[in-house]
């Protein structure tokens, strides 16, 4: 997914380093600081859970592709032993593309059971990537 955790953390620096023009100080700058603070908090969640989430998602997609290989043309994909976020994301992109191709073939064939299995996998993937907003008071 983009932006990546390094993107966010680099961005938190980049967006604050230039001195703002007079009309962007005050309320605007206060708002910007609040957004940067929130991004930092979410980045902490990603730092804690991001690697595990990607490993689980990649393994789940690979398992589903493996199960489908008997009935569909599924390309063989090499995994990765590199546990950096960048390497896991690169592997994830390959797996997701293969999953999308499989899902289209499954839909075309009218294979309801596998279609539903893929939808359940999507729900799992979305949950693994979840970021939790803290309860920010609204008024």
**Binding residues for another protein, per CB under 8 A?**
1-3, 7-8, 10-12, 14-15, 18, 21-24, 26-28, 30-32, 35-36, 38-39, 42, 89, 92-93, 96-97, 99-100, 103-104, 107, 115-116, 118-120, 122-123, 125-127, 129-131, 133, 135-139
- When the beta carbons of 69 and 93 are compared against another protein, the nearer one is 93
Provide CB contacts within 8 A for 11, sequence distance 6+.
3, 39
Q: Report, in Å, the least distance between residue 49 CB and another protein.
A: 12
What is the torsional sign of CA 124, 128, 131, 137? positive
Helix (H) or strand (E) holding 132: none
Give the integer Cα–Cα distance in Å for 109 and 100.
14
- When the beta carbons of 68 and 118 are compared against another protein, the nearer one is 118
Q: Report, in Å, the least distance between residue 22 CB and another protein.
A: 8
- When the beta carbons of 14 and 83 are compared against another protein, the nearer one is 14
Q: CB count, 10 Å around CB of 129?
A: 14
- When the beta carbons of 10 and 83 are compared against another protein, the nearer one is 10
114, 99 in Cβ contact below 8 A?
no
């Amino acid at each position: 997914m983009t932006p990546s955790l390094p993107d966010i953390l680099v961005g938190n620096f980049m967006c604050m380093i230039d001195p703002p023009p007079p009309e962007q100080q005050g309320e605007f700058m206060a708002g910007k600081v609040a957004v940067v603070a929130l991004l930092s908090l979410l980045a902490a969640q990603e730092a804690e859970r991001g690697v595990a989430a990607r490993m689980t998602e990649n393994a789940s997609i690979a398992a589903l592709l493996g199960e489908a290989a008997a009935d569909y043309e599924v390309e063989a994909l090499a995994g990765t032993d590199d546990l950096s976020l960048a390497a896991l994301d690169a592997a994830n992109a390959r797996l997701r593309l293969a999953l999308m191709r499989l899902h289209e073939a499954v839909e075309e064939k009218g294979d309801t059971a596998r279609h539903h299995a893929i939808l359940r996998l999507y729900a799992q993937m979305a949950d693994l990537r979840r970021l939790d907003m803290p309860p920010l008071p609204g008024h």
